[in-house]
Structure 1
Amino acid sequence: MNSNIKIVRSLMQELRRVSQTKNTKENAMLHYVMEQAHAHKETSEVLCKAREELKNLAEMYLCYLKSQRACKDIHKQYAGKGERSIKETADLVGFKLPHDPK
């Protein structure tokens, strides 16, 4: 049960990061996630679904949201900004130029 709470909290945190509305009371995504979490408190055998279906679904969405955020960060860091100098390019990939002190 404790791991389920951690997953839901992490999912809510990621949804807040991608949300355009800062007011959590008006956020429809957060309301939906909380409704689903409360609706599936009962054992999933009552609903005739796989035992860990909601947990697996929440983990997949959490992984998706984290991956999207990481992709945006990487794109922002390495996106083309026109021509770069040789030094900037070397610094970007972690190399040192021959005339730089080692």
Structure 2
Amino acid sequence: MQLYRKNQVTDEQLCRAQSELAHLSETYSCYLSSLRRYSAIKDAYHSQGERTVRQTADMVGFKLPHDPK
């Protein structure tokens, strides 16, 4: 944030690095939101141990056939 504020465009100067910093800040924002999304997906689908067939079917949206015993 300090670097971004330091290179703001003012009436007295036109800073070439302004567009570079805008791109850098947008890239970093995209990285952070992607990292949060990855963590949420990983928590939902990874490292929960063995799942039953019913849990797996529910996770992907399938329905199991009923066993008429």
TM-score normalized by structure 2? Answer: 0.77
C-alpha displacement at 1:37, in angstroms?
2.6
Q: Distance in 2 between matches of 1:38 and 1:57?
A: 13
Q: Is the 8 A contact 2:8 2:15 kept in 1?
A: no
Residue of structure 2 aligned with 1:59, choices 26, 34, 40: 26
| C-alpha distance in 2 between matches for 1:84 and 1:93 | 13
Please give the TM-score of this superposition, normalised by the length of structure 1: 0.54
Q: Which of 22, 26, 38 pairs up with 1:71? A: 38
Paired residues in the alignment total 64
Q: CA-atom RMSD, angstroms?
A: 1.9
Listed as ranges, the gaps of 5+ residues in structure 2 are none
Q: Which has the higher contact order (CA 8 A, sep 6+)?
A: 1
3-state SS of 2:62 partner = coil
CA distance in 2 between partners of 1:73 and 1:52 (Å): 32
Q: Name the counterpart of 1:94.
A: 61
Structure 1 residue runs without a partner (length 5+): 1-32
Could you say what secondary structure the match of 1:52 adopts? helix
